[in-house]
Amino acid sequence: MPAPKWGAEPMRQQGRIFEIQHLALYDGPGVRTVVYLKGCPLKCVWCHNPEGQRIAPELLFHAEKCTGCGLCAAVCPAGAHAVSGGIHRLDHSLCVGCGRCVPSCIHAALTIAGETVSVEAALREILCDRAFFRGEGGLTLSGGEPLMQSDFACALLAAAKEQGIHTCMETCGHAPEEAVREAAGVTDLFLYDIKELDTHRHKEMTGLGNERILSNLMLLDSMGKRVILRCPVIPGQNMRKEHFMGVAALAQRLPSVEAIELEPYHPLGLSKYADLGRTPKFSNTEFLSAASLSGYAEEMRKLTEKPIRLSTGEDI
């Protein structure tokens, strides 16, 4: 049998991640370990994981923890840190992401988003949660966009499956067809983001049209892969009846789609932009209530028999 495309020694395959979350409950069925991969082709204006957008390591400065001691400035090779009068300033444009300053900060005011790990190392941590998986619990890859690092993602999923672990991928769907086909061979369930069905509006919200996303969704359906459509609901962006009805019709048309999950907007990612030295493009600070979606869900059920629920698994 020829070696898979992701390498003859898949356990040594490396990728860049920014978090491993243990015992997660809302990223696929059962109890999951979620590995968040760096890099995403989209730039959603409401993105709640901005530290996952760029594939390079990035420094986050948590100003509320800083005491102005200046130890970071003493070790920074790029002069990105400056402390004057006990006030710390970080010039993100100078930061090279080397991470030398992070261990110097005893108050954890500095962290790096972006760690290079091997499949072997990631799998070792995933296996720590194995006793909690039971049934359909298991591994979920998220991000960022896992298919931005498709070789690493597929190798990790394959390694998990060899251990009998259920595999799931949360994806925006914007990836080369070949990468999607390879991922389909080692993924039990896709959590497939549908952000907007109108391609022009999609481009305004994310920077890219949705043609490739919809094409890859059709591909997964033709392959008979299990799919749950995940729909972020963003006030002032895609929160309109036409969009919801389109999603319902799409789900009804595709046999592989098992359910629709609505994800109400939350502002929990806004503080990360300041930590990264960026300004968010969408700065709504209000949580969107689940109750505000019940009317849309009721209308959607007129077009589809597929279950419609919140991404937390709650009925709506």
Give the domain ranges of the chain.
10-55+115-310, 58-113
206 close to 42: Cβ distance less than 8 angstroms? yes
- What number does CATH give the domain 58-113? 3.30.70.20
10-55+115-310 homologous superfamily:
Aldolase class I (3.20.20.70)
For residue 235 the two structure tokens come to 């006030």
What Rg, from alpha-carbon coordinates, does the chain have? 21
**Domain pair 10-55+115-310 / 58-113, same fold:** no
Rounded CA separation 313/206 (Å) = 26
In order along its 316 residues, the chain shows pLDDT tens digits of 334 444 447 889 999 999 999 999 999 999 999 999 999 999 999 999 999 999 999 999 999 999 999 999 999 999 999 999 889 999 999 999 999 999 999 999 999 999 999 999 999 999 999 999 988 899 999 999 999 999 999 999 999 999 999 999 999 999 999 999 999 999 999 999 999 999 999 999 999 999 999 999 999 999 999 999 999 999 999 999 999 999 999 999 999 999 999 999 999 999 999 999 999 999 999 999 999 999 999 999 999 999 999 988 888 8
Q: What is the pLDDT of residue 314?
A: 82
Q: What is the pLDDT of residue 3?
A: 41
